[in-house]
Amino acid sequence: MKFDKVLVANRGEIARRVLRTCRAMGYATVAVYSDADADARHVHEADEAVRIGPPPSAESYLRIEAILDAARRTGAGAIHPGYGFLSENAAFAEACEAAGVVFIGPTAAAIRAMGSKIEAKHLMASHGVPVVPGYQGEDQTTARLTSEALAIGFPLLLKASAGGGGKGMRVVRAEDELDGAIAAARREAMAAFGDDRLLIERYVERPRHIEFQILGDAHGHVVHVHERECSIQRRHQKIVEETPSVALDPELRAEMARAAVTAGEALGYRSAGTVEFILAPDRRFYFLEVNTRLQVEHPVTELVTGLDLVRLQLLVAQGQPLPVTQADIQPSGHAIECRIYAEDPDNAFLPATGRLRDWHFPPLEGLRLDGGVEAGDEVSIYYDPMLAKVVTWAPTRAEATRRMVRALETASIQGVRTNRAFLVALLRHPAWEAGETDTHFIDTHFPPEARGVPADPERDRLACVAATVALAEQAEGARALLPSLTAGWRNSRWRDPEQRWRLGEAEREVRYRAEGGGRYRVTVDDEASLPVRVVASDGPTLRLAIGDHVSAYRVVRDGAQVWVHGVRGSTALVALDRFPEEVGEAAAGSCLAPMPGKVTQVLVEPGQEVAQGQPLVRLEAMKMEHTLRAPRAGVVAAVLAEPGQLVEADAALVRLDEA
């Protein structure tokens, strides 16, 4: 089945990344989108785009029929599923086949075979691929569980068969703990899932997550494209990946690669896939699962091998043999990927939402940015909060790390909380430099209290200066009267104009004086004033000489909100207005009749506490009934009117005291 138009059944960065290769290879492209993504980048970048439903994934990106319908309507001959969504859905692969559309990925059978973790494990074990020793039999007697446990060896893990989320999970380190642990795990499993069946697994301490990229074609070839180490995770999701892994020597690498290829061959694997292992400190490794799709972290592999994995997927999908042999694949250098998530490292990495006010990565040698968003985009609650992948390559790990730190440090991402600064701290940690990465890396080195961005008064002070000057420069361009006159001109200067800023809880006062030609005199709070000069400016990026120190500041603004990104990091500021916010005019302590009329009802009595806006009196006037409400919260001091009474305009009807 030949095709020349590809539909990408995904969104965000992966949709853009797949579209890029499709375009480069001369394919016509089709995007699909939910209502939340109507203006998303991938929609703009495809030749055609088709709406597939409302924002929730279940009603859009997971709707097989809608996607196939989009392919039919646009005449797309193939569908690339990206990762996530329908990428590992065998039914979708089958539905594509039934609809006469090429599914760019493995066969439905391979997907199905790897879909069940238990079956996958059995299959791999039967082909001699090492799996984590364990027991998941129907015989749940204590005697059987004990004997199986002893056979597996310690430490081991007891898990609820029905479980997940760590409930009913226990690590057992010695035989004498076993009885008690089985009893406790059963109780917890019963309480949590209503099912006390347990499974037992060897517990691997301080494991690393190592995976091998494999590629297969319809002609029986399977090659591996070396490993990626993805040990650094939070909330069971990888955030930093690299290749090669420092934990592998050539011997171990060859051994694991062989296992990966064996796994691929066992599945008759076609397209790109990933065989995941855990690696114990004792160099033993165990099969974990096969991801039957293009992996999020595939770019690191591409950077060290020079291969375009999506291109290879497309070739294979066209029925062509892989154009590379195992011998052709010779990686060079080191690549690292960091995932930028919209999330709050300070708050258990919970996803964050909002509108991106800035999204800027200065160009850098060896940097690849696979992004799904641009400044102005809304990060919604509907989808995975991963915004982009920052990937760097260099001849050595240390250099790739340095480039990564540089890329992340110079990136200005504003408006939505992200893990950018956390990633910088992570890559600066000595344990990263030492290559001591395991899946507990974050919990070990970054306990919850150590994940935030440290306070930096100097950073904030400079941000105040930069923000003030940026605003002044902006105003400079907008002056209509005598624009050639220095801004804020005075012949007898009393005090310099002030700009007050709020930074979190703190307030700072900046006084500034324009001296013409991009020169300013700036005073922060009561500190000595500083000469500031705009050395250069390029859109929101200003190069400022503050005192005798020159550096770049990126200043973006949205109404009163301003974000400054400088060499010391980011600061969010709110410009405080010179004038007070509008205060509702509350009659001081009294409720007055707005016009002459008759009191029909008095709704409160003396001593009663009232809330602001609570009805106090009803008045009939000009044939209308008016409800008079409490201008503020307080206590009724006196009721000065009674029902039926005729009152003049401005007569006090109820007097209020402060609560």
Partner 1 sequence: MRPIATKVDPRDAGFRDNYAAMRAMVDKLEQALAASREGGGDKYTSRHEAKGKLLPRERIELLVDRDGYFLELMPLAGHGVKGVGPGAGVVGGIGVVSGVECLITASEATVKGGAINEYGLKKSLRLAEIGAANGLPNISLIESAGADLPNQSKIFVPGGQTFRDITRRSKEGIPSVCVVFGSSTAGGAYIPGMSDHVVMVKDQAKVFLAGPPLVKMATGEVTDDEALGGAVMHSRVSGVSDYLAQDERDGVRLAREIVGRLNWEKRGRVAMQAAEPPLYDPDELLGIASADVRRPFDQREVIARVVDGSRFSEFKREYGTTLVCGWAFLHGHLVGLLANNGILFSESANKGAQFIQLCNQRGIPLVFLQNITGFMVGRQYEEGGIIKNGAKLINAVSNSEVPILTVMTGASYGAGNYGMAGRAYDPRMLFTWPNHKIAVMGPEQLAGVLDIIRRESAEKRGEAVDEKQLEMAKAMLRMQIEKESDAFFATANLWDDGIIDPRQTRDVLGIALSAALTREVRPTTQWGVFRH
Provide the 3-class DSSP secondary structure of residue 241: strand
**Least distance (Å) from partner 1 to the CB of residue 503?**
20
Instruction: Kindly determine how many residues on this chain lie close enough to bind partner 1 according to the rule CB under 8 A.
Output: 27
- Name which of 214 and 510 has its Cβ closer to partner 1: 510
**Least distance (Å) from partner 1 to the CB of residue 475?**
5
- Name which of 31 and 472 has its Cβ closer to partner 1: 472
Beta strands, E only, 321-421: 334-341, 343-344, 350-351, 354-355, 358-360, 367-371, 378-379, 386-394, 412-414
Beta-carbon count within 10 A of 67 CB: 29
- Name which of 177 and 515 has its Cβ closer to partner 1: 515
CA-wise closest residue to 16 among 372, 374, 308: 372
**Least distance (Å) from partner 1 to the CB of residue 649?**
10
Task: Indicate which single residue of 117, 173, 479, 549 sits in contact with partner 1 (rule: CB under 8 A).
Answer: 479
Binding mask 495-514 toward partner 1 (x if CB under 8 A, else -) reads x-x----------------x
The yes or no reply on residue 650 touching partner 1 (CB under 8 A) is yes
Task: Indicate which single residue of 538, 585, 605, 642 sits in contact with partner 1 (rule: CB under 8 A).
Answer: 585
CA-wise closest residue to 40 among 19, 69, 70, 58: 19
Task: Indicate which single residue of 2, 98, 430, 491 sits in contact with partner 1 (rule: CB under 8 A).
Answer: 491
Task: Indicate which single residue of 327, 482, 622, 624 sits in contact with partner 1 (rule: CB under 8 A).
Answer: 482
Measured CA to CA, the distance from residue 631 to residue 611 in angstroms comes to 9
Alpha-carbon 312 to chain mean position: 28
Alpha-carbon 69 to chain mean position: 31
Place of tokens 């090492």: 130
- Name which of 430 and 494 has its Cβ closer to partner 1: 494
**Least distance (Å) from partner 1 to the CB of residue 239?**
44
The yes or no reply on residue 515 touching partner 1 (CB under 8 A) is no
Do 252 and 212 form a contact (C-beta atoms < 8 A)?
no
- Name which of 349 and 512 has its Cβ closer to partner 1: 512
Active-site residue (options: 11, 186, 228, 293)? 293
Q: Give the sign of the dihedral formed by CA 84, CA 87, CA 88, CA 94.
A: positive
- Name which of 196 and 496 has its Cβ closer to partner 1: 496
The yes or no reply on residue 583 touching partner 1 (CB under 8 A) is yes
Tallying the residues shown for the chain, one arrives at: 659
Map the footprint of partner 1 across residues 189-248, applying CB under 8 A.
none
Beta strands, E only, 207-302: 208-216, 222-234, 237-243, 271-279, 285-291
The yes or no reply on residue 623 touching partner 1 (CB under 8 A) is no
Confirm whether 293 is a catalytic residue: yes
- Name which of 447 and 579 has its Cβ closer to partner 1: 579
Structure-block tokens of residue 581: 């916010």
**Least distance (Å) from partner 1 to the CB of residue 511?**
11
Measured CA to CA, the distance from residue 301 to residue 608 in angstroms comes to 73
CA-wise closest residue to 54 among 42, 38, 39: 38
The yes or no reply on residue 486 touching partner 1 (CB under 8 A) is yes
Where in the sequence numbering do the catalytic residues fall?
A: 293
Residue ranges binding partner 1 (CB under 8 A): 472, 475-476, 479-492, 494-495, 497, 514, 578-580, 583, 585, 650
